[in-house]
Structure 1
Amino acid sequence: METIETIIIGGGQAGLSTSYHLKQLGREHVVFEAAEKPAHAWRNDRWDSFTFVTPNWTIQLPGAEYDGDDPDGYLPKEEIIAYFERYIEKYDLPVRFKTSVLEVAPMDGGSYQVKTEAGMIQARNVVIATGSFQKPKIPAFASNLPTDIQQLHSGFYRNPGQLPDGAVLVVGAGQSGLQIAEELYQSGRKVYLSVGFAPRAPRRYRGRDVFAWLVDVGFFEQTPDKLPSPKARFGANPQLSGKNGGHSLNLHQFARDGVTLLGHIAGADGGRVTFKSDLKETLARTDKAEKDICAMIDKYIAAKGIDAPLETLPELQDGYSAEEVTELELKSAKVKTIIWAMGYTFDCSFVKLPVTDEDGFPITQRGVTQYPGLYFVGMNWLSKRKSALLLGVKEDVESVVAEITK
């Protein structure tokens, strides 16, 4: 059986950052990546016009911090892919592509047996960097829909021309759902949008990108123990877009532009889809979230005595005046496509140890589990709100690398 000191499972930003540090320290390791090429999530799970939602200056992988001439811009998909390709090449990181890990199990003596499609490998340390977005989330009742309705997860959407003619039902109002819905209706499609709760934030506020303010106020330093409940870790990110230089996304503006807003999806039976009558409640929560974010920034500016121009955001109301629709007959509405933009789930069941809580989330201290040599990096809220971001993944990675090499 092949033996390697450290196996890193997953070749995304967290896995590559871990590899970078181990390579600099001269420690034996390998990265197993199931995909054929680098930047799998960006290359294969994003649409053609996708850009970063966070500004370019937040790209802070170790040894490759952003140093371009557009720090406040938003990198497009092709450049994101190229960034990761260059990162692996520049530091000659030992990534084995097309290598899926099927199981991680403890062995006598404190090592781990890692089962791949190519065979068994023994490792003293295993770093799980598979992230929070592994399996597309699609409700079971989707199987009740007519076979002539094209259904696809947001990760498989590429552009409006990919879809059959007709209206589109987008389910989900997080960053992906709103950006896809916006692209579709701006291309001339009739769009129905089933919304769930995701906070809204202005793209820019009081002279700066909102992300810069949120970093300064400590928003991304929040720890899980400050959340109202453990399940709040799975909440959506603020509704924002980096397309065309970056802009705000507002459901009321969508309604003004002709999008039919719907409440949470409730079920499907044949050609009929039902929705909860909670649209206005959801809109109110979204509106309040934006006000709360701006109030937090205002308080910080006042406390620090920062000279920043006052700003009053427009308060749109169009969504509240829309008729509440709780049923949609797909044929009469001419809906030919449903895009499920409900996010992803993660799965740690391949680890044959009790390492998760009742929600299936890894139990760690800064990525370090109770089992010597077993670690997690790159998941939302692993130790802080920023744990999965390019801006913040390094902290958990450094904690894990320190534990491996101490």
Structure 2
Amino acid sequence: MNTIDKAKLATHYDVVIVGGGQAGLCVSHYLKQANIHHVVLEKEAELTHAWRSKRWDNFTLVTPNWQCLLPDYPYAGAEPDGFMKKNEIVEYLDGFIEKLNPPAILGINVTHVAKVGKQQFVIETDQGTTLAKHLVVAAGGYHTPIYPKLSSSLPENVMVIHSEQYFNPEQIPEGNVLVVGSGQSGAQIAEDLHLAGKKVYLSTGDAPRCARFYRGKDVVKWLFEMGYYETTVKDHRYNEEVRNSTNHYVTGRDGGRDIDLRKFALEGMRLFGRFKDYKDGKLIFSPDLAKNLDRADETYNRINASIDNYLLQNNIQTDASASVYEAVWQPESEVTEIDLVAENIRSIIWCIGFRPDYSCFDLDIFDKKGYPQHNRGVTIDPDVTFIGLPWLHTWGSGRFLDVAKDAEFIATHITQQIKYFNKAMNSISPT
């Protein structure tokens, strides 16, 4: 656990950063360089809490270590093309925190934020109230775990947890386990349980997948060289909607490999379509398993084809030839109902995401869905910025790759706003 000098909440700051994850800390780094008076408010007892307490034991990065580019603190280990494990990620973050020594207050909960004038925010906490000229929301967008509404109550002897509560197979009771959701977390948790010998039932969704390695190189490396990570929201074919997209499932475990749900099915995992309901002892699924698997494989092959085209256009030679993934398993039929007791399902893990909760921010900057309206993190109120959200600006945003770039941009914006405000105040002050 990181240690931070205990500090009391001051009466005012130039900038208050809400959230002590890597995104908020990166903003703090650049504000310190600019000599901007600021504080990081973190509700948990430690910085970068989610990496420590909301990841399963066998968690690894999905992107290679060389993409870990926190400001003035790039990955410097012996395996740049490897994938850090949970404990290694924590060690990397602790090194950054120690070097940064951010002005942070831990265990403080922000309860209400309102703007009462130009560049004047009133920030109420459970440890008092402070004022700020600028607000940075670095609390991420994964706040409230999503649980589906069910027609019937699940039996009391069935353990029900969310993905953020899963740590290892040992915590799962005897019997079979249903994992709902096949995004990155769902697919990797299903694999973790499967490799441990648990009988896994997996309810799939529309998550895409990609190869880990192709044509002799990590697919991430190819996509980086092709400029994909520099794609901005405005340049993307889905525009703003891309912010709601599901990440491709793949893994960095054991040096990195594909996640092939069809292969898991051959090995005994039971696959189903999208989860719909639990009613009268029955788990009910949509008849879309084949479509979900086919769509994921289409994305897999499309990404590989784009790499083939890139190599051809740039006359790049590799030892590995082009290939197309062919399905190793097909569902014989679409099973849409199973009996919970008959299948001996004794635990369910919901891996269907989170909802953002910005309810404490009493600010007119959110759309009808409660999402901040912003351009590259700068909201429609230029005194409020966000950082750490997926696709904040590019595909690399929200990752270790581009969080420093986003933070530098936001810190520069804040510095300019404060300078303009101070200059304006000085020009109208009596001599």
TM-score by length of 2: 0.90
What amino acid is aligned across from residue 185 of structure 2 in structure 1?
S
Partner of 2:243: 233
Instruction: Identify unmatched segments of 5+ residues in structure 1.
Output: none
Distance change (3 Å), C-alpha of 1:229 and 1:328:
farther
How far apart, CA to CA, are the structure 2 residues paired with 1:356 and 1:303?
A: 43
Partner of 1:88: 97
Distance change (3 Å), C-alpha of 1:319 and 1:345:
farther
Give the secondary-structure state (helix, strand or coil) at the position aligned to 1:336: strand
1:187-241 CA distances to partner (integer Å, 9 max, x unpaired)?
A: 1111100001111111111111111111111222222232436444222111111
1:59 corresponds, among 48, 68, 74, to 68
1:132-151 → structure 2 map (5 Å cutoff): 132-141=141-150, 144-151=153-160
How far apart, CA to CA, are the structure 1 residues paired with 2:23 and 2:317?
A: 37
Give the secondary-structure state (helix, strand or coil) at the position aligned to 2:263: helix
User: 1:383 aligned to 2:383?
Assistant: no
Identity %: 39
How far apart, CA to CA, are the structure 2 residues paired with 1:152 and 1:142?
A: 18
Greater CA drift, 144-153 or 347-356: 347-356
How far apart, CA to CA, are the structure 1 residues paired with 2:110 and 2:66?
A: 33
Partner of 1:204: 213
Q: Are the aligned partners of 1:253 and 1:316 in contact in 2 as well (CA < 8 Å)?
A: no
Partner of 2:304: 294
Q: Are the aligned partners of 1:15 and 1:377 in contact in 2 as well (CA < 8 Å)?
A: yes
Q: Are the aligned partners of 2:290 and 2:331 in contact in 1 as well (CA < 8 Å)?
A: no
Give the secondary-structure state (helix, strand or coil) at the position aligned to 2:375: coil
Q: Are the aligned partners of 1:110 and 1:372 in contact in 2 as well (CA < 8 Å)?
A: no
User: 1:22 aligned to 2:31?
Assistant: yes
Q: Are the aligned partners of 1:154 and 1:339 in contact in 2 as well (CA < 8 Å)?
A: yes
Cα distance, 1:349 vs structure 2 = 2.6
2:41 corresponds, among 28, 32, 41, to 32
How far apart, CA to CA, are the structure 2 residues paired with 1:99 and 1:323?
A: 53
Cα distance, 1:319 vs structure 2 = 4.1
How far apart, CA to CA, are the structure 2 residues paired with 1:146 and 1:213?
A: 48
Partner of 1:221: 230
User: 1:166 aligned to 2:166?
Assistant: no
1:153-200 CA distances to partner (integer Å, 9 max, x unpaired)?
A: 111111111111000000010111111111112211111000011111
Greater CA drift, 221-230 or 231-240: 221-230
1:32-80 CA distances to partner (integer Å, 9 max, x unpaired)?
A: 1111112211111110111111110010010111111110111111111
Moved over 6 A (4+): none
Give the secondary-structure state (helix, strand or coil) at the position aligned to 1:375: strand
Give the secondary-structure state (helix, strand or coil) at the position aligned to 2:193: helix
2:261 corresponds, among 240, 246, 251, to 251
Q: Are the aligned partners of 1:271 and 1:329 in contact in 2 as well (CA < 8 Å)?
A: yes
What amino acid is aligned across from residue 357 of structure 1 in structure 2?
D
User: 1:180 aligned to 2:189?
Assistant: yes
Partner of 2:4: none
How far apart, CA to CA, are the structure 1 residues paired with 2:242 and 2:338?
A: 30
Partner of 1:336: 346
Instruction: Identify unmatched segments of 5+ residues in structure 2.
Output: 1-9, 417-431
Partner of 2:371: 361
Partner of 1:269: 279
Larger Rg: 2
User: 1:325 aligned to 2:327?
Assistant: no
Give the secondary-structure state (helix, strand or coil) at the position aligned to 1:320: coil
Distance change (3 Å), C-alpha of 1:372 and 1:183:
closer
Greater CA drift, 372-381 or 352-361: 352-361
Tell me the C-alpha RMSD between the 2 structures: 1.6
Give the secondary-structure state (helix, strand or coil) at the position aligned to 1:107: strand
How far apart, CA to CA, are the structure 2 residues paired with 1:88 and 1:177?
A: 30
